[in-house]
Amino acid sequence: MTTVQTKQPQRIHPHKFTLWVAMGSIVMMFAALTSAYIVKKNQSNWLEFDIPQVFWYSTAVILLSSVTVHLAAKAFKAREMGRYRTLITVTAVLGVLFISLQWLGFQSLESRNIALTGARSNSAASFLFVITGLHMLHVLGGVIALLVIFIRAYSVKMKNYSSLSIDLAATYWHFVDVLWIYLFIFYNWIG
């Protein structure tokens, strides 16, 4: 009697599938917001202004954080736990630095009398505030996920060597990085 082995299809982990669906939803939200920005820009009362210089620095920070989270995932898979802990810590710190720099950018606009909200605000500044603020919230969500992983990395009790958590966090982190690059290019050259 001959035994025939059939290859089972590779299934995606449910958490990874959920993450990809969520990222698809986030892409659609930001596509809608940037489309509304373009439509609104054609109105006569649109205020033209340069984005703050600090946004360039925050872009460099988030790009660097994408490198550190990638290296952290590699270190985890190589079981280099000391290096992994250090790189996860650096990534979380860079995420907080990114959010702080974005906030400084908003303060820079306010100091140039470009109101982001309220009666004095213009829709151009308000759109920048809402779109960038939503991105900051998504980065904050990533920082929280990194902090959970950070706590687990330093936990003596936990000896789980599944890379699912770091893979999910790294995928999401790269996503918010790419999303910011899109927004940065949009603000500087498209919008």
Residue 28 pLDDT grade (very low, low, confident, very high; cuts 50, 70, 90): very high
Residue 190 has pLDDT above 80, yes or no: no
Q: Contact 135/111 with Cβ under 8 angstroms?
A: no
pTM: 0.86
Confidence of residue 7 (pLDDT cuts 50, 70, 90): low
How far, CA to CA in Å, does 55 sit from each of 61, 101, 103, 122, 162? 10, 7, 9, 20, 36
Note whether 59 and 135 are within 8 A (CB): no
The pLDDT value given to residue 157: 64
| Position 164 pLDDT exceeds 90 | no
Torsion of CA 26, 28, 33, 37, to 10 degrees: 140
pLDDT digits (tens, 9 = 90+) for 101-148: 999 999 999 999 888 888 888 888 899 999 999 999 999 999 999 888
Any long-range contacts for 27-32 (C-beta under 8 Å, 24+ apart)? Answer: 27/179, 29/134, 30/131, 30/134, 30/135, 30/179, 30/182, 30/183
Say if residues 69 and 169 touch (Cβ distance below 8 Å).
yes
| Ramachandran sector of residue 79 (left: φ over 0; alpha: ψ -120 to 50; beta: rest) | left
Per residue in 60-88, pLDDT (tens digit) is 999 999 999 999 999 999 989 889 999 99
Structural domains of the chain sorted by starting position, each given as residue range(s) with its CATH number in brackets: 49-190 (1.20.120.80)
- What is the C-alpha to C-alpha distance for residues 100 and 103, in angstroms, rounded to an integer? 5
User: Of 137, 166, 126, which Cα lies nearest the Cα of 150?
Assistant: 166
* Farthest-apart Cα atoms in the chain, separation: 84
